[in-house]
Structure 1
Amino acid sequence: MANKITDMSKIRKVIKFYCNGKSKLFISSYLSLSRNTVKKYISLFEVLGLNFELIDQKIDAELELLFSQTSVEAISPRLQTLYAFFPKMERELKKVGVTVQHMWEQYIAVNPDGYRTSQFHYHYNIWGKRVNPVMHMNHKAGDKMYVDYAGKTLSIIDIDTGEVKEVQFFVAILGASQYTYAEASMSQQKENFVDSVENAMRFFEGTPAAIVPDNLKSAVIKSSRFEPTINETLADLAEHYETTILPARAYRPRDKSLVEGAVKILYRRIYVTIKETKFFSLEELNQQIWDLLDSHSNRKLTGRPYSRFELFLEDEKEKLRPLPQDRFEIKYQSFATVMQNGHVQLSQDKNYYSVPYQYVKKKAKLLYTKSTVEIYYKYNRIAVHPRNYKPYVYTTTPEHLASTHQFVAQWSAARFIEWANNIDESVGEYIMQIIESRNHPEQAYKNCLGILNFEKKVGRQRLINACRRALDFKIYNFKTIQNILENNLDHIDFDQEP
């Protein structure tokens, strides 16, 4: 094991000296390596298109795979030509319908003396494992978005209390381009998780064919090798965005390798940079994350002449499905029995919503979002209302009420005053005085209705006379008008009384 580490250490020094402009002769002499060995490592380094930073980031096991003497054949011009073709081939394979066979046909058409199909496949696999041993896996553009949380948390400081709060680090990555989104959130609970997944799709400006979460509790209720149970809220999100949830298969590391690889890279490029910085809000922390993420996305991919962002723009963005116009809203549920007045209570806000009157005394299910309340009876939606956050308020659709209730629902001060004025100005004045004498107009509505109904019982003129007499007494209530009419006081001229 010690010899292996020494060998890998020398390889790092070979590449470092070479990148710093040292000659092969100097490197050979200084490191006590043969010139052919130095030449072989430098040739492979050039063919793979790497740089020293990427070499230095790799662990010894990865370096051994890259530079193993047993796996590296002499770098002939023929092999160099083949390796130079592979980056283009890898991009093309991300397109729907393109196969390795198609790419070999393109290669052999330009290079008639090139490698046959079996050797072509062999060298492509070797090249892929060397350039990126963890992430080498063919992904179709626009097909999958992988999501997960990093194991390590970040933190923010409450500016009022000084309390340090741990926050989660969410990562989403598109399979084909490796274009990545990241953000900090307060928890891994379903509300925060769904918001983060949606934010990722809004960032990518499109919807993938499938979303692949790890088996998080916020995503998967019950893991299964054959048919995992998806969290209902996440399933609703998928329906809203017309996509599919495909949880990573349990005990299948390759299903998770892409997003886990992205997390490892972001550890180096984001965590290390901000770990000593103090942030006093989630917004401040996320802005720093996004600034560093932009730099990460524009770096050239290992062994490729293009960045994640360039690959996304050229190959993957157009394959994503259009976003819906409206953002997704999480649905919550509660149950309530329809009251005698044809309304159900949303206990969360302590307010009331109408349903058709035939559902009185039935048990209803309420599904509500930030903006809407839907009411169901036996899986059928029977009412929908805009959500009202003001407590103890009735939100009523007139058509829901029985005919008698509809009449009551139309009561208002203006309606009673208008009705009274149509009889006579004195009746209108009396009704207005009744309404103004109460702490709340609705307290007077039954009084007003009773008084105005006297028109049908005793006639218009008697009601007018009774209101004039009551106005003179400055007594404003239903019983005053009733007493005047029952005692025929409306027939007596007020000026003639003793």
Structure 2
Amino acid sequence: MDVREIIHRLRAGESKRKIASDLQLNWRTVKKYASWADEEKLLVGELPCPEELQKRFIAAFPKIPAAQNQSSVSEYHEYVVKLRKEGVEIAAIRQRLRERGYAGSYASVHRYVSKLEPLTPDATVRVECKPGEEAQVDFGYAGKMIDPHTGELRKSWAFVMTLSWSRHQYVEFVFDQKIATWLRLHRNAFRFFGGVPKRLVIDNLKAAIVEACWHDPQVQQSYQECAEHYGFLIAPCRPRTPQHKGKVEKGGVHYVKRNFLGGRESTTISQANRDVLVWCETTAGQRVHGTTKEKPLERFSQTERAALRALPAIAYDLAVWKEVKLHRDCHVVFDNAYYSAPFTLVGQKLRVRGGSREIRIYTQEFQLVATHARAEQPGQRQTHPEHLPPELLDGLFLTRETCQSMAEEVGPATAQVTEILLGDPVLDKMTSVRRLLKLRERFGDERLEAACLRALTFDDPRYMTIRRILETGRDLRQDDLPPPEPASRRQPAAFVRSAADLVGHLFGGATWN
């Protein structure tokens, strides 16, 4: 149960009993939350942000333990069945159970017996709506269509939104039922109608409903945000009760399958979508409807179009919410890309809001902890350094050029050692260079420069050598250094014998010996 949804409906003018019916809550519960919202001044003015609203709600209504899933009567199952076959009333059954040690309530026994016995089929009453009040939505399998990008046949589905009063409808075919697709289809349908109905009756699709539970439907955050943007209310259809939205089941999906798709050869999905829009305004829109005895397009044009809510001035950003886990590398995975979040949250479940241009990461309490530009390709990493542990940051973003520049700040000897290490033709010694430069923090620039000079003098410019020099204090001694060789005495390196002396015997010449 989302209190924001209840407040949204109260602000829209729905009665408490209507809200309780739609959300399958006790009307007293809705009344309690409505009184709280009124006291908190939440029914007028601008609503607080989700995290602030959640904090205030939790403070006012602390969580209580969940009810047990197994009935307390289940251990007496065979005895209860026997008594019911004998025609014993529920009150008497409870009394017999109490004699056997049962301590539960009459309501528990009544619920248990009700589940055991089939119900008499209920009569139904047709519910008619006012213009602009309601639309009904569903998906239906549409067979295989050609993917224009690959040329291959793929399974496709038909999205149908039918305005309940006029029966005018919008149809579009898609290759998946992802939440992003679901939201895009709603946006396209509202554009087609030129407005938004007050409420949508939806089937319990995974994209629209988190859990198909009539007693406590939990609307996905993505769909709720879409509903708030356009200003419509979500009315979930009870599971396994398609008669609750018959205008779509019989006049929408079934009609599309039977009329538009019936006998139609496979085409590309883009061509099918172009054709079905024409069909909606001609064949489907101009037929005389069996119930209203009028043409849907005429009823829509003359009456219902004007009754729809106006489209928002700002286009809806197709935002998808997803629950993710922050991995040990301080990144979450969203839509095949990686986004960093504070290392203090590693291992926790977070909420990601993925818009078309921006990614926002929240805690479970809707506290914003990270914002990133959306990755442009799969596998891309978006990282803020401040999200990573400080002890692991040192050297993580250092490049060869940066290391060489830092070494030159210390002195020429340190710069020469760094150049030698980075110039190794076989091994990548960036790690050694990072460790070398980190010695500045421990020993200072002056001592590091002296140690590097000493290592160069003894022709051993390795990291381990320089560290030992610093740890033993040899960089502070100058008396054991060999005197520098005069430049005039230095001879360029050369072979003592010529190449002919070395390999001359191979060609018939003289050898070394």
Classify the TM-score, shorter chain.
Answer: 0.5 to 0.7
Aligned to 1:172: 161
SS at match of 1:246: strand
Could you tell me how far 1:147 is from its partner in structure 2?
Answer: 0.9
Residue in structure 1 matched with residue 437 of structure 2 by the alignment? 449
Letter in 1 for 2:450: R
1:467–1:240: structure 2 CA closer, same or farther, 3 Å change rule?
farther
Q: Secondary structure at the match of 1:322?
A: coil
Q: Structure 1: 5+ residue runs without aligned partners?
A: 1-95, 97-133
Aligned-partner Cα distance in 1 for 2:453–2:264: 87
What's the CA shift for 1:285? 2.9
Question: Match of 1:247?
Answer: 236
Alpha-carbon displacement from aligned partner over 1:312-369 (angstroms, at most 9, x marks no partner): 896246x3341653432332323346x4x7x255498595724154x46x63435364
Aligned counterpart in structure 1 of residue 139 of structure 2, from 144, 149, 153: 149
Measure the CA separation in 1 of the matches of 2:149 and 2:163: 39
**d(CA) in 2 for partners of 1:174 and 1:387?**
36
Q: Is the 8 A contact 2:451 2:469 kept in 1?
A: no
State the Cα distance separating 1:495 from its structure 2 match.
2.0
- Identity across aligned pairs (percent)? 17
For 2:386, which of 394, 399, 405 is the aligned residue?
A: 399
1:56 alignment counterpart: none
Structure 1 residues 446 and 313 mapped into 2: Cα distance closer, same or farther (>3 Å)?
A: same
Question: Structure 2 residue aligned with 1:315, among 306, 322, 341?
Answer: 306
Structure 2 CA distance for partners of 1:237 and 1:381, relative to 1, 3 Å: same
- 1:277 corresponds, among 247, 265, 273, to 265
More helix by share: 1
Which residue identity lines up with residue 355 of structure 1 in the other structure? P
Alignment partner, residue 17 of structure 2: none
Query: Is 1:196 equivalent to 2:181 in the alignment?
Result: no
Taking the aligned partners of 1:202 and 1:433, their CA distance within structure 2 comes to 66
1:202 deviation in Å? 4.5
Distance change (3 Å), C-alpha of 1:305 and 1:267: closer
* Corresponding residue number in structure 1 for 2:464: 479
The answer for the alignment partner of 1:332 in structure 2 is 322
Match of 1:260 in 2: 250
| Residue aligning to 1:288 | 275
In structure 1, what is the Cα distance between the partners aligned to 2:159 and 2:296? 28
The answer to whether the Cα contact below 8 Å between 1:208 and 1:321 also exists between their aligned partners in 2 is no
CA deviation profile, 1:366-398 (whole Å, cap 9, x unmatched): 53647636252666443344465665x865433
Q: Which amino acid aligns with 2:280?
A: L
Which letter does structure 2 place at the counterpart of 1:477?
R
Cα gap change, 1:215 to 1:161, in 2 (>3 Å): closer
* Local SS of the residue matching 1:416: helix
User: Is 1:184–2:184 an aligned residue pair?
Assistant: no
Structure 2: distance between partners of 1:444 and 1:377: 42
Question: In the TM superposition, what is the alpha-carbon distance from 1:246 to its structure 2 partner?
Answer: 1.0
Q: For the residues of structure 2 that align with 1:140 and 1:175, how far apart are their CA atoms?
A: 8
Q: Closer, same or farther in 2 for the Cα pair 1:364/1:387, shift >3 Å?
A: farther
Are the equivalent residues in 2 in contact too, given 1:177–1:315 (CA < 8 A)?
A: no
Asked whether the equivalents of residues 451 and 481 of structure 1 are also in contact (C-alpha less than 8 Å), the reply is: no
**For residues 177-198 of structure 1, what are the alpha-carbon distances to aligned partners after superposition, in whole Å with 9 as ceiling and x for unaligned?**
5442111223556665444334
Contact 1:335 1:363 in 2 (8 A): yes
SS of the aligned residue for 2:352 comes to strand
| 1:170 CA displacement | 1.7
How much does 1:427 deviate?
Answer: 3.7
Q: Counterparts of 2:264 and 2:378 in 1: how far apart (Å)?
A: 44
Alpha-carbon deviations, 1:148-172, whole Å to 9, x = none?
Answer: 234x633225799997544222211
Decide whether the 8 Å contact of 2:145 with 2:156 is kept in 1. yes
Q: 1:315 and 1:296, CA in 2 relative to 1: closer, same or farther beyond 3 A? A: farther
Q: How does 1:83-122 map to 2 (within 5 A)?
A: none
Alignment partner of 1:278: what SS? coil
The residue aligned with 1:140 is: 131
**Equivalents in 1 of 2:208, 2:442: separation in Å?**
66
The answer to whether the 8 Å contact 1:447/1:477 transfers is no
Q: Which secondary structure does the structure 2 equivalent of 1:495 belong to? A: coil
What corresponds to 2:200 in structure 1?
211
Q: Count residues with an aligned counterpart.
A: 350
Deviation of 1:466 (Å): 4.5
TM-score (norm 2): 0.52
Runs of 5+ in structure 2 lacking a partner? 1-12, 14-124, 491-513
In the superposition, relative to structure 1, how do residues 347 and 194 fare at CA in structure 2: closer, same or farther (>3 Å)? closer
Give the superposed CA RMSD. Answer: 4.9
Structure 1 pair 156–227 and aligned structure 2 pair: CA distance change class (3 A): same
2: CA distance, partners of 1:325 / 1:161: 31
1:417 to 377, 401, 404: 404
1:478 is displaced (CA, Å) by 1.8
Structure 2 CA distance for aligned equivalents of residues 457 and 423 of structure 1: 5
**415, 428, 441: which is aligned to 2:415?**
428
Task: Name the SS for the 1:331 alignment partner.
Answer: strand
Does the 8 Å CA contact 2:413/2:456 hold for their aligned counterparts? yes
- Provide the residue aligned with 1:65 in structure 2: none
C-alpha separation between the residues in 2 aligned to 1:425 and 1:162? Answer: 64
The alpha-carbon distance between structure 1 residues 351 and 495, as it changes in their structure 2 partners (threshold 3 A), is farther
Match of residue 48 from structure 1? none
**Structure 2 Cα separation of the partners of residues 185 and 153 of structure 1:** 9
Aligned to 2:450: 462
Aligned residue for 1:14? none
Question: Is residue 364–residue 375 contact of structure 1 (8 Å, CA) maintained in 2?
Answer: no
Q: Could you tell me how far apart the structure 2 residues matched to 1:454 and 1:305 are?
A: 82
Q: Any idea what the Cα deviations from partners look like across 1:44-91, whole Å, max 9, x if unmatched?
A: xxxxxxxxxxxxxxxxxxxxxxxxxxxxxxxxxxxxxxxxxxxxxxxx
Q: 1 CA distance for matches of 2:231 and 2:416? A: 61
TM-score, normalising length from structure 1? Answer: 0.54
The whole-number CA distance in structure 2 between the counterparts of 1:333 and 1:469 is: 59
SS in 1 for 2:450: helix
Answer yes or no: is the 8 Å Cα contact 1:205–1:322 preserved in 2. no
